[in-house]
Amino acid sequence: MAQPLRSVNLLWRPLAKQRLEKERERRMRYDMEQSLSTRADYEDPDADRDDKTALGTGIEELAEDHDGELIKFEMLELAEKLNKILHELRQKYNYCFWCKYRYPDETFDGCPGTTEDEHG
């Protein structure tokens, strides 16, 4: 069963949306070229939820669904988007993008800070 686009983390939702749109365009081109319908009910038995999200196949397409949260995120400056993503990586995965290291706990022992300048 496909998950709604809104259920994808806001930080990754623009990518999931972009992949959905590309996949939809690819399918439309293929259908036009082949004059045949594609099987929308095929599911890769080896694909897990993350695979399906990454490929855009496990997400429901809601063409007219208004996603205010996504619209607000997409309107942010690039630096603000980056800060939100870096914060999510630190909070959820104990990962510092600038160190390129996943710390064993939230103390980030040895990490000089949260910004690129602090790592310079």
> How many domains is the chain built from?
2
**Residues above pLDDT 90, as percent of the chain:** 38
Report, in this order, helix, strand and coil percent for the chain, each rounded to 5: 50, 5, 45
Cα separation, 110 vs 38, whole angstroms: 52
Structural domain of residue 103, as residue ranges? 77-120
Q: Are residues 66 and 113 in the same domain?
A: no
Reported as a single tens digit per residue, the pLDDT across 35-92 is 543 455 566 677 777 766 666 666 665 544 678 888 888 899 999 999 999 999 999 9
Q: Are residues 61 and 6 in the same domain?
A: yes
Distances from the Cα of 23 to the Cα of 26, 59, 106, angstroms: 5, 12, 38
The whole model's pTM is what? 0.55
How distant is the alpha carbon of residue 113 from its chain centre?
25
Q: Are residues 46 and 69 in the same domain?
A: yes
Contact 88, 11 (CB under 8 A): yes
